[in-house]
């Protein structure tokens, strides 16, 4: 029922993530594909060294853009955590549960939305870059992005519960 109520927001986030992935992937389009001859193995000449350097720059650039986009998206939601902090304080005062339980609960409740955002951003970016086209590499890539997103979500949730005001959270 929640997904049907927030359909406009979810479609907007999917479009935003696909757009950001297309922009990031367009900048580094097919830069992560191996451009040296793999049948002869590594030949230590200037062309192979240049190709390897371009490959590393593209992969590191792609991971930087990915992690930056995820951190910006997660950081925006951190100030929203302050709106539910008063509810958390009431529950703590009533001995219902502590802050870690709230952080874990709110993290688990956002998993479907976060997963959708990760897929909408990670899948187009992976294939636009020309990264390793094997299933194992692809799922490892998605797992790394997913773990990073969860870690940031928990970090910003804890941070928003520890800092005194909304302006302080937004400043960090």
Query: What are the pLDDT digits (tens) for 120-142?
Result: 999 999 898 888 888 998 999 99
Specify the pLDDT at position 78. 73
Specify the pLDDT at position 34. 64
Q: Tally the domains of the chain.
A: 1
Residue 21, pLDDT above cutoff 80: yes
pLDDT band for 98, please (50, 70, 90 cuts): confident
Residue 40, pLDDT above cutoff 70: no
Residue 1, pLDDT above cutoff 60: no
Which DSSP string corresponds to the chain? -HHHHTHHHHHHHHHHHHHHHHHHHHHTTTTTS--S-SSS----SHHHHHHHHHHHHHHHHHHHHHHHHHHHHHHHHHHHHGGGHHHHHHHHHTTS--HHHHHHHHHHHTHHHHHHHHHHHHHHHHHHHT---SHHHHHHHHHHHHHHHHHHHHHHHHHHHHSS-HHHHHH-
| Prediction pTM value | 0.75
Task: Identify which has the larger pLDDT, 34 or 137.
Answer: 137
* Domain assignment of residue 165, given as a range: 2-171
């Amino acid at each position: 029922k929640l997904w049907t109520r927030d359909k406009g927001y979810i479609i907007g986030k999917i479009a935003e993530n696909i757009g950001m992935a297309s922009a990031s992937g367009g900048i580094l389009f097919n830069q992560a594909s191996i451009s040296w001859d793999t049948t002869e193995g590594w030949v230590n000449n200037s062309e192979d060294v240049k190709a390897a350097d371009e490959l590393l720059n593209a992969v590191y650039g792609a991971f930087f853009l990915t992690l930056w986009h995820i951190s910006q998206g997660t950081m925006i939601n951190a100030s929203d955590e302050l709106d539910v902090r008063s509810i958390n304080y009431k529950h703590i005062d009533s001995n219902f549960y502590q802050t870690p339980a709230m952080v874990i609960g709110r993290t688990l409740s956002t998993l479907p939305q976060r997963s959708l955002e990760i897929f909408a951003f990670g899948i187009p970016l992976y294939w636009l870059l020309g990264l390793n086209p094997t299933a194992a590499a692809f799922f490892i890539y998605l797992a790394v992005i997913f773990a990073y997103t969860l870690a940031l979500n928990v970090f910003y949730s804890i941070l928003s519960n520890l800092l005194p005001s909304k302006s302080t959270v937004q400043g960090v």
